[in-house]
Chain A
Amino acid sequence: MTDQPLTEVVSNLAENDAELSDLAKLAILGALESSESLAEALGTKTGTAVTPPVNRPIEPEPVGAFLTSIEVAGFRGIGPRAKLNLQPGPGLTIVAGRNGSGKSSFAEALELALTGDSYRWLNKAAVWLGAWRNIHEPVPCEIRIGLAEEGEGTTTIGLDWTKDGELGDRISWMQRAGMKREPGLANLGWTSALERYRPILSYDELSGLLEGQPKELFDSVEKLLGMEPLQEAQKRLAVILKELQKPETQAKATKAQLMEALESIDDERATAAVAQVKKMRPDLGVLVKLATGTSPQPSGELTSLRTLALGSVPNRELVEETVRELRSAVGLVADQSDRSLALAESRTTLLAQAVDLHTQHGDMACPVCGDGALDQAWHTRVDEELARDNADLKRLRDAHSALRQRRGNALELVRSTVGFTAPESVGLDSLQRAQVARERWAATPAGDSDLAEHILSTYSELASAAAELRAEATAALDEREDTWAPVAQQLATWVELKQAVQAQSGVTKAAKLASDWFKKNVAALRNHQVEPLADGARDIWARLRQESNVGLGAITMQRSGDVRSVQLVADVDGQETRALSVMSRGELHALALALFLPRATMKASPLRFVVLDDPVQAMDPAKVDGFAQVLREIAKERQVVVFSHDDRLAEAVRRFDPSARVAEVTRGVKSEVRIADSRTPTNRYIEDARAFANDPKVRPEVKLKTLPGLGRLALEAAALEVFQSARYNDGHDRISTEEAWSGAKSLSKKLALALYGDSEKDLSSWRHARIYRKATLGNCIGGVHLGVATDPRGAVNDLRRTVADLLGTR
């Protein structure tokens, strides 16, 4: 199994993918991390502010742990308190017991205590609801799990129920050595590890895996493969992509509606908008102007209507004022009309010339009439007359000028009223009347008084017709605006969406690229990940299959949409076929084990234990042997606890792994469960030694040569047991413990380690404190074998007592 985190594999893969844009790469890396990182990578932080930063408790880094005990009272098949002690450290323990002995209750108690909060219990609990509490002794009802945590020491996990509590009413807690109780198991940090590595496997679960729905197997295997971070990343990308594509999706969804609305109304803006909206790349600037009404419209119905609605007819006061002024000017001119301006002007000119003549040439006879004389008196009189005449003339000139001015004003007034025009399509009923009125109004007569009269007489009709037209135009305009406004709103919204689409098109593209990349690569990664698992499975299967002619070939995960399955290719006498269809129940079971054991024993798993509940049902003897060998392998690095009702497994394990322990669970009356821990490795060597010593047919020399060896094995096994318990309960880790043990090369050093925790300590005082210890160590270490030769049974007794003393120091 590869221990490189999958996320790292993915990161590297993405990093080196030339087809990905830099932004897409960043998106992939961000997606693997968290939604926040993804949003940051894509620069859409503000957009995803919907998810407030929840104070999600970060799971503490889990530490390695071994099980030291499972203690149960009043739960399932166990009445009075019963405690199953387990040897912390790597090694194999078989908990054997007949069906109904209560052994499975221990396994269930452990599973409930550790994984009770996980979803897997939801179904299981239903099966149990009626019978989870022991019927004989339901109170007290509690579970205690003893753990030896690396770096922490002994830790207890507890589940308590009150007298009437239901299964779900349990109170869960944990307590580390020398610390206070903490509610729940959060601080263990095991939740995800338990889910991923699944160190607790029961028969039901195993058989269900391959016999159940293909997709369930797929999901389980995928979980094993650690694909969740990838799924999470994909989900995160999908969420953000959906968010990013929202404008586009909405724009698409509303486009038809918008088109319909635009086409349904009779408005030139709508027509212009339709032309744009239809386009692949509509000019959003134009559409914005259309929607907001800032679009320049040189001609057209709306302009006409707007002009008409504004109304360009001068108001009555102005008209009357103008007419009054015109008339007064006409009157003023008329007052002076008794004098001819021309005659007066000619006469004045003549007189002015005569005055000039007199001024230059002096007195003379009048050159015009010849009778009079131009003299000084005349000159003075004429000067006065000329001055008077000039004033009159000025008044007259002024009156004429005023009249011209007023007439101009009046004409300007008329002219200022421009023609009423509107395209016929607008269909204004009052337009013609207004046009007629205006034409009449504009047909001004020549005379000033006539003009005044004309203005007054035509104005009323004009004003009335214009007012009518204005009202009609306004109404028409309002109607158009009323129809347009909502459509304009719709258009504006659509344009906003399109603008958003344009604005983030680069980001959306990157997110899409990243998402597609995941889709493309996850399948390959999945099968890449499954390969080591498949190797492990094939390896285990090879040992489990024994007589089966079914070999295990490729394991591939297939997913297409929601249909997912695991394809297990089998090789039956060289013929490839689907594994699941050719395997017997027992074989399926073994296969499930083969699939799941490699994961449970991954190096990355902090859970140093693997618990199997009744794994060998329906296995034939040869497979049991194979399984025992598999377990022995796993037990080299893991604490393996196997609950089994099948004695064959216990026997096979004892043959293949002498260091394995077998605890026997028996259930007496009233659910009183006892655990006999007699079949320990130490006891086994002592039993062997005793059997060998007791065989009268074995010659004494052979006994002499063999018994010390068995004695050494017994002592060593006992010393290891004592040493491991002490080390792991003190919170030491496995590596240093194993190094210390393997560093103690001789039996004396191992004994010193067990007794004093120091391999260099002198054993003499312990050794000499009891005569049987002295004899035993003499036999086994010192090479003083006299006792063995003369009294082999006595030597075995001494061995037994010495070992008991050693174990007693635990």
Chain B
Amino acid sequence: MTTLIGPMLEDAADLLGGSISAPRGQAVRLSSLLARQAFEEVVSELCLAKGECLDYPVAMRSRLIFIRDRYDGETAAMAETAWAGLSEACHHHSYELTPTVGEIHYYLGLVSKLRVITG
């Protein structure tokens, strides 16, 4: 599982950069999906690193609370931000605009930073 995080993040970045082609207008959305998958893996690792397995079906909110309790505020904030941003990006909203490439880059960046924390 662990080994998948890296490739997922790379693919997500390549989708954004255009080196992996995607159906027109879907690159950002696909990239977000990959990024969210990677993020969920990273969260699992963050929890495991503190000795607990809080995988599905434990709610993401509980996991984030757990992370806030066990990690520093910066880590918790990054996790919460990435989660909030990527959840938004992975759904189609009738009134919100599709996230920009830059935004997803930003979230990908957060996930990468979180991944570094788990070692």
CA distance A695 to B52 in the complex (A): 15
| Nearest CB in chain A: distance from B80 CB, A | 4
Known: A655-B80, A692-B65, A710-B65. A698 touches B106 (CB 8 A): no
The answer, among A547, A657, A691, for a CB contact under 8 Å with B105, is A547
Q: Are A655 and B100 in contact (CB under 8 A)?
A: no
- Tell me if A709 counts as interface (CB < 8 A to partner B): yes
- Tell me if B57 counts as interface (CB < 8 A to partner A): yes
- Tell me if B93 counts as interface (CB < 8 A to partner A): no
Chain B residues near A709 (CB, 8 Å)? 69
CA distance A502 to B17 in the complex (A): 78
Q: Are A691 and B81 in contact (CB under 8 A)?
A: no
| Nearest CB in chain A: distance from B112 CB, A | 15
The answer, among A656, A658, A697, A702, for a CB contact under 8 Å with B52, is A702
Query: For chain A, which range describes its interface: under 10, 10 to 19, 20 to 34, or 35 or more residues?
Result: 20 to 34
Q: Are B81 and A692 in contact (CB under 8 A)?
A: no
Within 8 A of A (CB), among B22-73: 52, 54, 57-59, 61-62, 65-66, 68-70, 73
- Tell me if A546 counts as interface (CB < 8 A to partner B): yes
Chain A residues near B88 (CB, 8 Å)? 621
Known: A621-B85, A622-B102. A710 touches B69 (CB 8 A): yes
Find the A residue at minimum CB distance from B105: A547
CA distance A621 to B85 in the complex (A): 8
| Nearest CB in chain A: distance from B60 CB, A | 10
| Nearest CB in chain B: distance from A793 CB, A | 14
The answer, among B57, B65, B106, for a CB contact under 8 Å with A691, is B65
Q: Are A656 and B102 in contact (CB under 8 A)?
A: no
CA distance A499 to B20 in the complex (A): 89
- Tell me if A625 counts as interface (CB < 8 A to partner B): yes
- Tell me if B11 counts as interface (CB < 8 A to partner A): no
The answer, among A656, A658, A689, A698, for a CB contact under 8 Å with B54, is A698
Mask of B73-97 contacts with A, CB within 8 angstroms, 1/0: 1001100110011001000000000
CA distance A699 to B52 in the complex (A): 9
Known: A651-B84, A702-B52. A547 touches B65 (CB 8 A): no
Q: Are A692 and B66 in contact (CB under 8 A)?
A: yes
Q: Are B68 and A697 in contact (CB under 8 A)?
A: no
Q: Are B77 and A656 in contact (CB under 8 A)?
A: yes
CA distance A620 to B107 in the complex (A): 13
- Tell me if A652 counts as interface (CB < 8 A to partner B): yes
- Tell me if A706 counts as interface (CB < 8 A to partner B): yes
Q: Are A546 and B84 in contact (CB under 8 A)?
A: no
Q: Are A622 and B106 in contact (CB under 8 A)?
A: yes
The answer, among A621, A656, A691, A698, for a CB contact under 8 Å with B103, is A621
| Nearest CB in chain A: distance from B1 CB, A | 19
Find the A residue at minimum CB distance from B52: A702
- Tell me if A571 counts as interface (CB < 8 A to partner B): no
Mask of A646-661 contacts with B, CB within 8 angstroms, 1/0: 0000011001111000
Chain B residues near A652 (CB, 8 Å)? 81
Known: A658-B68, A692-B65, A695-B58. A620 touches B77 (CB 8 A): no
| A-B contacts, 19 listed (Cβ < 8 Å) | A547-B106, A620-B100, A621-B88, A621-B103, A622-B103, A625-B106, A656-B77, A657-B73, A658-B68, A691-B59, A692-B65, A692-B66, A695-B62, A698-B54, A702-B52, A706-B65, A706-B69, A709-B69, A710-B69
Beyond contacts A652-B81, A688-B65, A699-B52: 14 other A-B pairs, Cβ-Cβ < 8 A, are A547-B101, A547-B105, A620-B100, A621-B85, A625-B81, A625-B106, A655-B76, A655-B84, A656-B81, A691-B62, A692-B65, A692-B66, A697-B58, A710-B69
